[in-house]
Structure 1
Amino acid sequence: MSEAEAADCLPEDVDAVRNALVTWYEDDHRDFPWRNTDDAYEILVSEVMSQQTQLERVREAFNEFLNKWPTVHDLAAASRGDVVAFWTGHSLGYNNRARYLHEAAEQVVADYDGRFPESPAELQELMGVGPYTANAVASFAFNNGNAVVDTNVKRVLYRAFSVPDDDAAFEDAAGFLMPDGESRVWNNAIMELGGVACEKVPSCDEAGCPWREHCDAYESGDFTAPDVPTQPSFEGSRRQKRGRVVAALSEYDELSLSQLGPKVRVDYGGDTGAEWLRGLLADLEDDGLVAVEERGGETVARLRD
C-alpha cells in the first residue's frame, strides 16, 4: 500500500481524527508508572516485562524491579542469576528475556557509557531488543519513534478505517496517521484505544471511543477483526517447568537431579524422570542460565553467575 492508498482509507479530515484521539487520551487514561517517565532504562524494563504479560502484574513487578536495580548501572552490576530468579518469581514469562535485559544493560554501560542510544536502529543493537521494542523505547523515551503497530493497533485500524489485513498496509496507514514528531503521545494513545475501547469485544460507548463518528465498524455494527493468536496455556507447560528449575536453584544454590526433580514436578519419575529433567536442563544450559556438571557419580545443576 502506498502513502496515497493509506490516505484513501482514512477520513478526509485527518486532523480531526488525530485531535480527537489525543484529547481523549490526555483527558483520561490508565495510569501506569512507565507512562510517567522518559527514562530509557525504565521504559526498556517495562517493555520487556509487558511482552505477553498482563499489565497489572507488570505494574507490581516493575516497581519492585526498579527498587532493587534503580539504574542501568545497578542492573549491569547485578548477578544474572538474581535477575533471572526475580523474573521467575514474578511469573514474567520466558527467562531468556531476563537474561537479554541484563546483557543489554551491560552493553549500555560498556559501549555507551551508561547512556542509551536514541534511534530505533541503534537501539536494535542491544541484546534482545527487536524492532518493536526498539521503536517503543525510541518513542516513549526520546519521542523520535515510528508509529507502533501491534495487535491492538491493527484491530483499531481494521475496524475504524477498513485497512486491509496486511502488515504493510497497517504499517503505511499507521505511519500516515501519526502526527510528525508526536510518537510519545500518539503511540500511547492509539494503544490505549485498542486496550480499553476497541478490545476483542468492543466497548465503544462505555469507553467513550473518540473515533465513533469516523469508525466503519461502529456505523455498520460489524466488529470482526484480524485473527488474534492465542497463547499456549502456561499451566503444565515446559515453560512453567523451566521456571520451577530456576526458582529451585535460586533457593538452594545447587541440587542433584534426585533433589531437583520433585521440586519441578510432583509426578517426577518414569517418562518424566531423570532423562526428561536432563533435557530441560540442557535447554537452560544452552540459554546460558544453568550450569550442569557431573560430580561423584551424580549430575548437579546450579544457576550461572
Structure 2
Amino acid sequence: MSTSEEWTFPADVDREAVQNALVEWYEADHREFPWRRTEDPYEILVSEVMSQQTQLGRVVEAWESFLDRWPTAAALADADRADVVGFWTSHSLGYNNRAKYLHEAAQQVEAEFDGAFPETPDELQELMGVGPYTANAVASFAFNNGDAVVDTNVKRVLYRAFDVPDDDPTFERVAGGLMPAGESRVWNNAIMELGGVACEKTPSCDAAGCPWREWCHAYQTGDFTAPDVPTQPEFEGSRRQMRGRVVSVLKEYDELALDTLGPRVRVDYSPDGEHGREWLRELVSDLADDGLVELDESDEGLVARLQR
C-alpha cells in the first residue's frame, strides 16, 4: 500500500473507461429503491435521515408511510412534533432526535427558504440535523449538484480497486477526481451501489459482474482487505491467491509456457499432479475470460501473457 504523500492514480488506467464502465453497469441493473425514482429534495432528505444506521429494506415501508402521512415539507412543518417522534419510535428508526431535527428542518425550509429547498451542500447544511454527508447526498440526488460521496463503502471500493491509502484526504481527492463533472447524481448512486452489491466486506466480484475487475488491484492480487475489512480469511492457497500470483509473475516476463509458469505460481507444481497443467490451464483460462491474460498455442504448448 502506497503512502498518501506519494500516491497517484495509476498511469496505465484510463479514467474515462473506468467512469463509463461503472455508469453503464449501474444503469443496466441496480437495486430498486423508491427514493432513487424521485428528485424531490424533501423525499430524498427523509430517505437519507431514515437510512442512518437502519437497513434499507426496512426503510422502504417506513419511508412510504411517512410520505403518505406528510407528503411535503410544508405538511411536515405543520405537524405536531410529538406525532412525528411517535411515528419514528413505532417504526424503530433509531434515535428520536433525528425525527425532531427532520421536523425542524422542514420548518426552516418553509420559514427561512420560502418553501424552496436550498440546492448546494453548503446551504443544505444550514438545515437542522443535516451534516456534510446528508447535505451532499441531497444536493447530488435532488439537484445533481453535489461532490463525490466518500463513505465507508466508497473507501472500501477505492482502497481495493486502486490501492488508495487509508487516508481520508486522499480518499476525498481520489473520489473527487474520478467523478465525472456535473454527474454527481448517477455517479454517487453507482459507486455506492458497487460498494453495496459487488464490493461488500465479502466481495462478489464475478457474481455481481463488477465493472472494475480489469483494473482492480484486489481482484488481480486476491488481497481483499480494506479499512473496514482488516483480515482476509482462508486466503493462503486459495484461488484468489493463485490468480494474483499468475498476474504478478506475468508482469515480470513477456510470456511463459504453462510448465514454466507453474513452478513460479506454486512450489508444488507438477505437470501431471493435482496442481498441474490442467489446474493451471483452467486458472489462466479464467483470467483470459476476465480480460487479464492472453493465451496462445506454441511449440511449447499453451503460452500465457498479460493482456496488452
Q: State the TM-score, normalizing by the size of structure 1.
A: 0.72
User: What CA distance in whole angstroms lies between the structure 1 residues aligned with 2:228 and 2:210?
Assistant: 22
Secondary structure at the residue paired with 1:175?
helix
**CA distance in 2: counterparts of 1:187 and 1:10, whole angstroms:** 24
Q: Does 1:186 align with 2:187?
A: yes
Partner of 2:233: none
Please name the residue that 2:296 is paired with. none
Aligned to 1:22: 23
Taking the aligned partners of 2:37 and 2:11, their CA distance within structure 1 comes to: 31
Residues of 1 paired with 2:146 and 2:176: CA distance? 10
- Residue 58 of structure 1 aligns with an amino acid whose one-letter code is V
Measure how far apart 1:8 and its partner are: 2.3
Distance across 2 between alignment mates of 1:130 and 1:10: 35
The answer (yes or no) to whether the contact 2:89–2:96 under 8 Å persists in 1 is: yes
Give, in whole Å, the separation in 2 of the partners of 1:107 and 1:203: 43
Corresponding residue number in structure 1 for 2:169: 168
Tell me which of the two structures has the higher relative contact order, counting C-alpha pairs closer than 8 angstroms and 6 or more residues apart. Answer: 1
For residue 203 of structure 2, what is the amino acid of its counterpart? P
Helix, strand or coil for the counterpart of 1:214?
A: coil
Per the TM alignment, residue 6 of structure 1 is displaced from its structure 2 partner at its CA by: 6.2
In the alignment, the residues of structure 1 paired with residue 86 and residue 175 of structure 2 have an alpha-carbon distance, to the nearest angstrom, of 38
Is the 1:158–1:165 contact (alpha carbons within 8 Å) kept by the matching residues of 2?
A: yes
Distance 1:154 1:10, change over 3 A: farther
**Larger helix percent:** 1
Q: Which runs of 5+ in 1 are unaligned?
A: 230-305
Structure of higher CA gyration radius: 2
Alignment of 1:1-305 (within 5 A): 7-9=8-10, 11-227=12-228
1:9 Cα deviation (Å)?
4.3
Is 1:144–1:183's contact at 8 Å kept on the other side of the alignment?
Answer: yes
Mapped partners of 2:98, 2:193: distance in 1? 24
Structure 2: stretches of 5+ with no match in the other structure: 231-308
For 2:45, the aligned partner's letter is L
When the two structures are aligned, how many residues end up with a matched partner? Answer: 229
Q: Name the CA distance, whole Å, in 2 between partners of 1:104 and 1:228.
A: 36
Tell me the CA shift for residue 113 of structure 1.
1.1
CA deviations on 1:227-278 (whole Å, 9 max, x unpaired) are 369xxxxxxxxxxxxxxxxxxxxxxxxxxxxxxxxxxxxxxxxxxxxxxxxx
Residues in 2 aligned to 1:128 and 1:70: alpha-carbon distance in whole angstroms: 20
- For 1:159 and 1:91, the matched residues in 2 are separated by 34
Which 4+ runs in 1 deviate beyond 4 A? 3-7
Identity %: 75
Asked if the contact 2:22–2:211 (Cα under 8 Å) also holds between the matched residues in 1, the reply is yes
Cα distance in 2 for residues equivalent to 1:62 and 1:10: 44
Q: Distance in 1 between matches of 2:29 and 2:85?
A: 35
CA contact (8 A) 1:147 1:174 kept: yes
Change (3 A) 1:196 1:139: same
DSSP 3-state at the match of 2:214 = helix
Give the superposition deviation at 1:4.
Answer: 11
Give, in angstroms, the shift of residue 141 of structure 1.
0.4
Distance 1:201 1:31 in 2: 22
Measured after TM superposition, the shift of residue 87 of structure 1 is: 0.6
Q: Following the alignment from structure 1 to structure 2, what is the Cα–Cα distance between the partners of residues 136 and 223?
A: 27
Give CA deviations for 1:37-69 in whole Å, capped at 9, x if unaligned.
000000000000000100000011000000000
